[in-house]
Structure 1
Amino acid sequence: MNLLNDFIHRPFPLPSKKYIMRQTWRNLLFLHWPIPLEKLRPYIPSALQVDTFNGSAWLGIILFVIEGIYPLGLSSVSLTPSFPEINVRTYVTCNGKPGIYFMSIDVENWASLKIAKNWYHLPYHSAEISFRKEGQTFHCHSIRKGNESAPISFMGKYVPVSEVYCPKEGTLDHWLTERYCMYSSKKGVNIFCGDIHHRPWPLQKAEVEVVKNTLFTPYQFDLSEVTPIAHFSTGVDSLIWNIKKVQF
Structure 2
Amino acid sequence: MPKRQKPTWIARQTWEDLLFIHWAVNVEDLRPHIPDFLDIETFNGKAWIGVVPFQASENRLRGMPRPLPFSSFLELNVRTYVSYRGEPGVYFLTMDANHRLAVTGARHLIGLPYFMADMTLKKESDTISFSSKRKHSGEIPAFFSARYHPYSKPGLSAKESLTSWLTERYCLWKVIRNKVFKRPIYHEPWELQEAGLAITTDKLLDFLPASAFQEDPLVHYAAAKTVYFFPIERKK
| TM-score of the pair, normalised by structure 1 | 0.90
Aligned counterpart, 2:189: 200
1:35-54 to structure 2, matched below 5 A, reads 35-54=25-44
Deviation by residue 1:192-229 (Cα, 9 ceiling, x = unmatched): 10000000001000000000100012x24323422110
Aligned counterpart, 1:5: none
Cα contact 1:68–1:79 (8 A) shared by 2: no
What secondary structure, in the 3-state scheme, does the structure 1 residue paired with 2:70 have? coil
Alpha-carbon RMSD = 1.8
Aligned counterpart, 1:152: 142
Matched residues in 2 for 1:242 and 1:212: separation? 36
Aligned counterpart, 2:15: 25
Aligned counterpart, 1:59: 49
Gaps of 5+ in 1: 1-9
Cα contact 2:192–2:222 (8 A) shared by 1: yes
Deviation by residue 1:109-143 (Cα, 9 ceiling, x = unmatched): 11220111122211111110011111110001100
Matched residues in 2 for 1:102 and 1:119: separation? 16
Aligned counterpart, 1:7: none
Counterpart check, 1:102 vs 2:81:
no
Structure 2 counterpart of 1:191, from 180, 201, 204: 180
Cα contact 1:153–1:212 (8 A) shared by 2: yes
Cα contact 2:30–2:208 (8 A) shared by 1: no
What secondary structure, in the 3-state scheme, does the structure 2 residue paired with 1:29 have? strand
Cα contact 2:49–2:78 (8 A) shared by 1: yes
Matched residues in 1 for 2:92 and 2:65: separation? 27
Quote how far apart the aligned CAs of 1:82 are: 1.2
Deviation by residue 1:142-176 (Cα, 9 ceiling, x = unmatched): 0011589x731001100001011100110001001
Matched residues in 2 for 1:120 and 1:185: separation? 11
Matched residues in 1 for 2:65 and 2:29: separation? 43
Deviation by residue 1:13-39 (Cα, 9 ceiling, x = unmatched): 327661110111111010000000111
Structure 1 counterpart of 2:209, from 221, 226, 229: 221
Quote how far apart the aligned CAs of 1:235 are: 1.9
Aligned counterpart, 2:151: 161
Gaps of 5+ in 2: none
Cα contact 1:158–1:206 (8 A) shared by 2: yes
Matched residues in 2 for 1:97 and 1:197: separation? 15
Quote how far apart the aligned CAs of 1:242 are: 1.7
